Amino acid sequence: MGNQKDIQHYRKEIDRIDDEILRLLNERSKSVIEIGKLKKESDAEANLHTPGREAAIVNRLTGQNTGPFPNDAIRSVYREIMSASLSLEGPQKVAYFGPAATFTHLASIKKFGTSAQYVPVNSIKDVFDEVERGHANFGVVPIENSTEGVVNYTLDMFIDSNLLIYGEVLLEVSHYLLSKTGRLEDIKTIYSHPQPIAQCRHWLETNLPLIPVSEMTSTARAAELCADDPTAAAIASELAAQLYGLKIIKARIEDNINNFTRFLILSKKAPERTGKDKTSVMLSVKDKVGALYDLLRPFASHGLNMTKIESRPSRRKAWEYLFFVDLEGHAEEEPLKKALEEVKGRCLFMKILGSYPAHS
pLDDT for the residue numbered 280: 96
pLDDT for the residue numbered 359: 78
Range(s) for CATH 3.30.70.260 in the chain? 277-357
pLDDT for the residue numbered 41: 75
pLDDT for the residue numbered 6: 82
Which positions ≥6 away from 266 have C-beta within 8 Å? 127, 128, 131, 138, 139, 140, 141, 163, 164, 165, 166
Q: Are 138 and 49 in contact, with CB atoms under 8 Å apart?
A: yes
Helix axes 103-112, 71-89, angle to 10 degrees: 80
CATH of 93-173+260-267, one of 3.40.50.970, 3.40.50.300, 3.40.309.10, 3.40.190.10: 3.40.190.10
Q: Is the peptide bond before 335 cis (omega within 30 degrees of 0)?
A: yes
Range(s) for CATH 3.40.190.10 in the chain? 93-173+260-267, 182-250
Active site residues: 261, 263
pLDDT for the residue numbered 84: 85
Instruction: Residues 2-89: name the CATH superfamily.
Output: Chorismate mutase (1.20.59.10)
What span, in angstroms and rounded, lies between the C-alpha atoms of 133 and 181?
Answer: 43
pLDDT for the residue numbered 35: 81
pLDDT for the residue numbered 358: 87
Positions of the chain with pLDDT lower than 70, given as ranges: 1-2, 43-48, 287, 315-319, 360
pLDDT for the residue numbered 188: 97
What span, in angstroms and rounded, lies between the C-alpha atoms of 41 and 37?
Answer: 6
Is 1.10.10.60 the CATH classification of the domain at 182-250?
no
pLDDT for the residue numbered 43: 66
pLDDT for the residue numbered 48: 63
CATH of 277-357, one of 2.40.420.20, 3.30.300.30, 3.30.70.260, 3.80.30.20: 3.30.70.260
pLDDT tens, residue by residue, 270-323? 988 888 899 999 998 776 777 778 888 999 999 999 999 988 877 666 557 788
Sign (positive or negative) of CA dihedral 134, 137, 142, 143: positive
Q: How many CB atoms lie within 10 A of CB 354?
A: 23
Range(s) for CATH 1.20.59.10 in the chain? 2-89
pLDDT tens, residue by residue, 174-223? 999 999 999 999 999 999 999 899 999 999 999 999 999 999 988 999 99
The pTM assigned to this predicted structure is 0.82
Q: Please, how many CA atoms are within 13 Å of residue 349, restricted to the half-sphere of its CB?
A: 14
pLDDT for the residue numbered 295: 82
Helix axes 2-42, 71-89, angle to 10 degrees: 50
